[in-house]
Structure 1
Amino acid sequence: MSPAPTGPRPRVAIAHDYLTQRGGAERVVLAMARAFPDARIHTTLYDPDATYPEFADHDVVTSPLNRVGPLRRDHRVALPFLAPAASRMAVDADVVLVSSSGWAHGFRHTGRSLVYCYSPARWLYQTDTYLGGAPHRSPRGLALLALRPVLRRWDLRAARASTRYLAISRVVQGRIRATYGLESQVVPAPHSMDPSAPQEQVPELADWAEGGFHLVVSRLLPYKNVDVVVEAVRGTSHRLVVVGAGPGRDALLATRPDNVRLVSGLSDAQIRWVYAHSRVLVAPSIEDYGLSPLEAAAFGRPSLTLRAGGYLDTVVEGVTGLHVDSPDPLLVRAGLDEVEAHPFDPDVLRAHAATFSEAGFAARLRSEVDALLADG
């Protein structure tokens, strides 16, 4: 038997764009932190009240931007300042595990970097889609168009200075190749839903618990197409619950029919309750990765998703869900009827979700870190 390795363990740090919201990327960062419990987390902005409370258990290092309250509360307002702030972030570690969709890959570091990429920055390379079309019609869109040439040059330098790239999905792997000219390996993100964990009822939905409801779990941004699902159920007997927050919240509240309810700020226990009482997850958005269908599948619930992007990696058509070909209310309405009539097997759904485990994700990351150090 070989002797156990001696000497200090390699120092691993984690870098992330900003911790100012609750979403799939932030859940991945928590999974990274559990895989490397000694790792310090570096980020430009951190709002403990707006993101997952588990981050309070970790050592989080922020940029000077974090002292400015309005920027901390809305990272979109910080757009003109994020590239300079990222360039000044200094991370001292043997390996930096970079969780990035546009900024953290630009942090300076003393060791090697392993970039886990959710997508090359949407606002730089898919601007129209990200802003919901016609970016020249809004002050924010005009500002982004003005900054885009400089930010693209900064972004390309940051990407090519990184040691190795991992892609969250096949579609992102293709974007990394097309945008940066870099090859990457696909490492699917885990889901973190435990159906056996405690649940807490959501009071606003208690009267809908019996019989269940269709479910959307999404940030309320234009490209998420939440409005499409709302229109799909308008005038029908379907009950729809939207879990999410974002710039589109007020418009959704003002136009939703009575069979649509919007909730946000739920605890993990309440999220589990919502999934457990759902019938179908609906996700007709343009996604880099299909995380929410895995969360629904963990509870034995099928999904109706767009036939595109990351959903092609996480949804097995006819087995764990069905697809629609475009985000059109009539197609979504027909798709909902088809999903309801399809004989999905909850046990097969749960087994599928189990193949995207956090334990497997952690083992893959540790293997990638070891390989990076061995190459050095």
Structure 2
Amino acid sequence: MVPTHHTKPARQRVAFAHDWLVSLRGGEHVLERLIDASSKKYEPAGIYTLFHRKHTMLPKTAALPIRKSPLNAMPARRWLLPMYPWAVDRLSDKLARDHANHAIDLLVSTSSGLIKSIEAPDNVPHLCYCHSPARYLWHAIGDYSTGSGAGAALRRFGLARFGDKLRKYDRDTVRHVDAFVANSKHTARQIETAFGRDARVVHPPVRTDRFTVDPKVDREDFWLVVSALEPYKRVDLAIEAAMTAGNRLMIAGVGSQLASLKKLVKQTDRRFKSVGLGGGRSSFIQFLGRVPDEQLIGLYRRARCLIFPQVEDFGIVALEAQACGCPVVARRAGGAVETVLEGRTGSFFADPTEEAIRQAVDRCPSDVAEQCRNNAEKYSEARFDDAMLRIMDDMLRR
């Protein structure tokens, strides 16, 4: 009798696309989780990205082949925006060639820019997890056009000169996406407005096993901002509110606006001194730069509150803070409306002014670690994994 050999069927292969891998922010943690979750059922086939810097990689992401656009070799990526459509199209070409050599079964893009425009090979479905339609093209153009100095002037010129062409490309290539998943109801509405497409909502995963409450750590009186230092994040409002209130503010994060924010601190201090309110308030503001998780967790556990002054598409930072028992003072807009419980895990302000922030801090509840933690646990990694794997299964059965 001839023995029968059973060969294990090959796992279906999933390729990923991500705008750029140059820093570690919420989007990169979502990508890492998608790779980790999908690897339990499928074979991750690599990542396609416009730009890549090795030192910013998380382990599951770093383990995969990285296919970079031709722009990766060029400096000053922010000023290459008019060339992004060409670069995305070249990534589509690379994906097609790779598929011809070793076929993929599904393309998953995680996008807050133009990478959602990458085209999957024929008969390969494309699922886009959208953090936001490109903010600088759609709903936050003003935030990228304000400011003084040469950098702000160049941004204004670039968006005025190329904005319409980029929006047309972004809208025309939405046909490359078979299904959208939005990170919040707010983002789903933006997808519908920009592209006329529906999106299911799956909130991003919060590392609730990493970010935890420590009842042995006492809360202090400083305010906290955890944010990329970019125009739309409105860190300037938090600075002005803290200096006016005479309260300490710790700012964890890096970005293109660091120099201008430090200049704002000096200007605000001089303004207070000039009207007889005394100087020296610049000492209330501390820029911490990029901080590791261990330090960040300590800040969340000690801060009086997290200040969240921007209109964020979701805002995972607000839930990391709550996972550590820290209440949140947030703008009443965007994803924060879904994740902060007024009077229970934080407070809201409607107007983007320093006075409104100060009043919201006064209303912010204290001693609410348990309520904050319970709220954050509703956004666990396990919930995210289950929801996204079900959607990926559905796409692969089409």
Unpaired segments ≥5 residues, structure 1? 200-208
CA deviation vs aligned residue, 1:57-107 (integer Å, no higher than 9, x gap): 333221222222x14xxx312212211111111333211111011221111
Compared CA separation, residues 290 and 344, structure 1 to 2 (3 A)? farther
Distance 2:59 2:254 in 1: 17
Compared CA separation, residues 367 and 237, structure 1 to 2 (3 A)? same
Contact preservation (8 Å) 1:319, 1:344: no
Distance 2:387 2:183 in 1: 13
Structure 1 residue 170 and structure 2 residue 170: aligned? no
Q: Given the alignment, which residue of 134, 146, 164 partners 1:121?
A: 134
Structure 1 residue 267 and structure 2 residue 267: aligned? no
What secondary structure, in the 3-state scheme, does the structure 2 residue paired with 1:323 have? Answer: strand
Counterpart of 1:159, as a letter, is V
Q: CA RMSD in A?
A: 2.5
Contact preservation (8 Å) 2:24, 2:57: yes
| Aligned 1:62-81 pairs, distance under 5 A | 62-68=68-74, 70-71=75-76, 75-81=77-83
TM-score normalized with structure 2 length: 0.83
Q: What is residue 108 of structure 1 aligned with on the other side?
A: 119
Unpaired segments ≥5 residues, structure 2? 1-6, 266-281
Shift of 1:226: 0.7
Sequence identity of aligned pairs in percent?
30
Shift of 1:316: 1.4
Compared CA separation, residues 369 and 6, structure 1 to 2 (3 A)? farther
Q: What is residue 357 of structure 1 aligned with on the other side?
A: 380
Counterpart of 2:159, as a letter, is L
Deviates more, 1:161-170 or 1:5-14: 5-14
Deviates more, 1:280-289 or 1:267-276: 267-276
Larger radius of gyration: 2
Q: Given the alignment, which residue of 77, 85, 90 partners 1:88?
A: 90
Deviates more, 1:122-131 or 1:40-49: 122-131
Q: What is residue 61 of structure 1 aligned with on the other side?
A: 67
Counterpart of 2:158, as a letter, is A
Structure 1 residue 146 and structure 2 residue 161: aligned? yes
Shift of 1:52: 4.8
Distance 1:15 1:131 in 2: 25
Shift of 1:128: 3.1
Counterpart of 1:253, as a letter, is K
Shift of 1:303: 0.1
CA deviation vs aligned residue, 1:203-257 (integer Å, no higher than 9, x gap): xxxxxx9835211011112221111111111143421101111121012223321
Q: What is residue 110 of structure 2 aligned with on the other side?
A: 99
Contact preservation (8 Å) 1:97, 1:114: yes
Distance 2:384 2:290 in 1: 27
Q: What is residue 318 of structure 1 aligned with on the other side?
A: 343
Distance 1:54 1:237 in 2: 44
Contact preservation (8 Å) 2:208, 2:380: no
Compared CA separation, residues 355 and 137, structure 1 to 2 (3 A)? closer
Compared CA separation, residues 36 and 303, structure 1 to 2 (3 A)? same
| Aligned 1:360-371 pairs, distance under 5 A | 360-371=383-394
Q: Given the alignment, which residue of 49, 52, 57 partners 1:46?
A: 52
| Aligned 1:295-374 pairs, distance under 5 A | 295-339=320-364, 342-374=365-397
TM-score normalized with structure 1 length: 0.88
Contact preservation (8 Å) 1:320, 1:344: no
Counterpart of 1:217, as a letter, is V
Contact preservation (8 Å) 1:88, 1:108: no
What secondary structure, in the 3-state scheme, does the structure 1 residue paired with 2:283 have? Answer: coil
Contact preservation (8 Å) 1:20, 1:50: yes
Deviates more, 1:349-358 or 1:262-271: 262-271
Distance 2:166 2:38 in 1: 31
CA deviation vs aligned residue, 1:135-178 (integer Å, no higher than 9, x gap): 99712221222112221221112212211011111111111112
Shift of 1:131: 0.9
